[in-house]
Homo-oligomer: A and B are copies of this chain.
Amino acid sequence: MKLICDGLALSEAVLKVSKAMPIKKNNNILEGIKLVAKDGYLTLTATDLELSIVKRIAADVQIEGEVLVLGKFFTDFVKSLDGEQIRLECVGGKSLTIKYGENEGFIKCMEADEYPEVDSIDEQSSLVLARDDLKALISKVVFAAATEDSRPILKGVLFELKSGILTAVALDGYRLALCKKPVQTEVDNVSYIIPARTLVEVLRLADEADEDIRMVFSREKMMVEINNTQLISRLIMGDYINYRNIISTGFTSTATLSRDRVADSVNRAGIISRTDKNNTIRFELREDLVLIDAKSEFGNVHESVPAQIEGKDCTISFNCRYIQDVLNAVDDEFIKFNIKTSSSPCIFTKPDGDEYLFLVLPMRVSS
Closest chain-B Cβ to A261's Cβ sits at a distance in Å of: 10
Partner-binding segment picked from A74-82, A197-205, A307-315? A74-82
Is B298 a contact of A81 with CB atoms below 8 Å?
no
Within 8 A of B (CB), among A300-318: 300-304
Closest chain-B Cβ to A14's Cβ sits at a distance in Å of: 13
Given A73-B271, A108-B297, answer yes or no on A302-B80 (Cβ-Cβ < 8 Å): no
Is B300 a contact of A80 with CB atoms below 8 Å?
no
Within 8 A of B (CB), among A104-130: 104-108
Is B268 a contact of A303 with CB atoms below 8 Å?
no
Which residues of B lie under 8 Å from residue A218 when comparing CB positions? none
Given A80-B271, A271-B76, A298-B108, answer yes or no on A304-B264 (Cβ-Cβ < 8 Å): no
Is B70 a contact of A298 with CB atoms below 8 Å?
yes
Given A80-B271, A108-B299, answer yes or no on A102-B264 (Cβ-Cβ < 8 Å): no
Is A301 a contact of B73 with CB atoms below 8 Å?
no
Which residues of B lie under 8 Å from residue A299 when comparing CB positions? 70, 73, 77, 95, 105-108
Is A268 a contact of B102 with CB atoms below 8 Å?
no
For chain A, give the interface size range.
20 to 34
Is A275 an interface residue, CB under 8 A from the partner? yes
Is A103 an interface residue, CB under 8 A from the partner? yes
Is A300 a contact of B103 with CB atoms below 8 Å?
no
Is A106 a contact of B301 with CB atoms below 8 Å?
yes
Is A265 an interface residue, CB under 8 A from the partner? yes
Q: How far is A56 from B194 in the complex, measured between Cα atoms in Å? A: 56
Closest chain-B Cβ to A28's Cβ sits at a distance in Å of: 12
Is A267 an interface residue, CB under 8 A from the partner? yes
Is A272 an interface residue, CB under 8 A from the partner? yes
Is A301 a contact of B271 with CB atoms below 8 Å?
no
Q: Mark A75-92, 1 if CB is under 8 A from B, else 0.
A: 011001110000000000
Which residues of B lie under 8 Å from residue A77 when comparing CB positions? 268, 271-272, 299, 301
Is A298 a contact of B268 with CB atoms below 8 Å?
no
Which residues of B lie under 8 Å from residue A272 when comparing CB positions? 77, 105
Is A302 a contact of B103 with CB atoms below 8 Å?
yes
Given A73-B275, A271-B80, answer yes or no on A298-B107 (Cβ-Cβ < 8 Å): yes
Q: How far is A297 from B94 in the complex, measured between Cα atoms in Å? A: 12
Q: How far is A302 from B298 in the complex, measured between Cα atoms in Å? A: 57
Which residues of B lie under 8 Å from residue A271 when comparing CB positions? 73, 76-77, 80
Chain B residue nearest in CB terms to A109: B299
Is A105 a contact of B304 with CB atoms below 8 Å?
no
Q: Mark A262-276, 1 if CB is under 8 A from B, else 0.
A: 001101100110010
Closest chain-B Cβ to A52's Cβ sits at a distance in Å of: 24
Which residues of B lie under 8 Å from residue A107 when comparing CB positions? 298-299
Which residues of B lie under 8 Å from residue A80 when comparing CB positions? 264, 267-268, 271
List 16 A-B pairs, Cβ < 8 Å.
A70-B298, A76-B271, A77-B301, A80-B264, A82-B264, A102-B303, A103-B265, A103-B301, A103-B303, A103-B304, A105-B268, A105-B300, A105-B301, A106-B299, A107-B299, A108-B297
Top 3 nearest A-B pairs (CB, nearest first) are: A105-B301, A103-B303, A107-B299
Beyond A73-B275, A103-B303, A104-B302, 7 extra complex contacts between A and B, CB < 8 Å:
A77-B272, A102-B303, A103-B265, A105-B272, A107-B299, A108-B297, A108-B298
